[in-house]
Structure 1
């Protein structure tokens, strides 16, 4: 099986779980990455003195996560869907071309 076929078989299974499942899962992964990046940045640049400092900044961080993470997750879903349907069309064209050659 080609790598491309494996990728689209994976997407077919992901689609069965639903759009919102994918969006929430992607959103949570993006939020975790942003939060970890923020914590690492605070440690590296020395602004973090206590956990309270991080909690004070948390509401602003959550707002940024929502404003960045949710649209990226939704765009990601539609991007993967368009790639999947283009691959299906490409596969159907190849299949029809093979049938034409056999006739």
Structure 2
């Protein structure tokens, strides 16, 4: 069964570490997921045969990770904060 109190205790601990800690942690998790998905997709569906083919596309992939990951992380922080303050 879902325990709401446990979730709010966890968020209270996350808040103690700070906003930027949460944003950077979730940003790196999003970037890792996007990078792994991109590499798997390139090897399965693309015409990539060497590691150099992957590294040539990395700057564009990194730019996309920044455009996607950072805003989602910031929105995630404020979303969790609003849920926390509504529960108080």
- Do they superpose with TM above 0.5? yes
Q: CA RMSD in A?
A: 0.9
Matched residue, 1:32: 32
Unaligned 5+ segments in structure 1 are 89-103
Query: Deviations 1:44-78 (Å, cap 9, x if unpaired)?
Result: 11421100000100000000000000000000000
Matched residue, 2:13: 13
Q: Please tell me whether Structure 1 or Structure 2 has the larger radius of gyration of its CA atoms.
A: 1
Counterparts of residues 1-103 of structure 1 (less than 5 Å): 3-88=3-88
Give the number of equivalent residue pairs.
Answer: 87
Q: Distance in 2 between matches of 1:22 and 1:46?
A: 34
TM-score, normalised by the number of residues in structure 2: 0.96
Poorly superposed stretches of 4+, deviation over 4 Å:
none
Q: Distance in 2 between matches of 1:71 and 1:64?
A: 11
TM-score, normalised by the number of residues in structure 1: 0.82
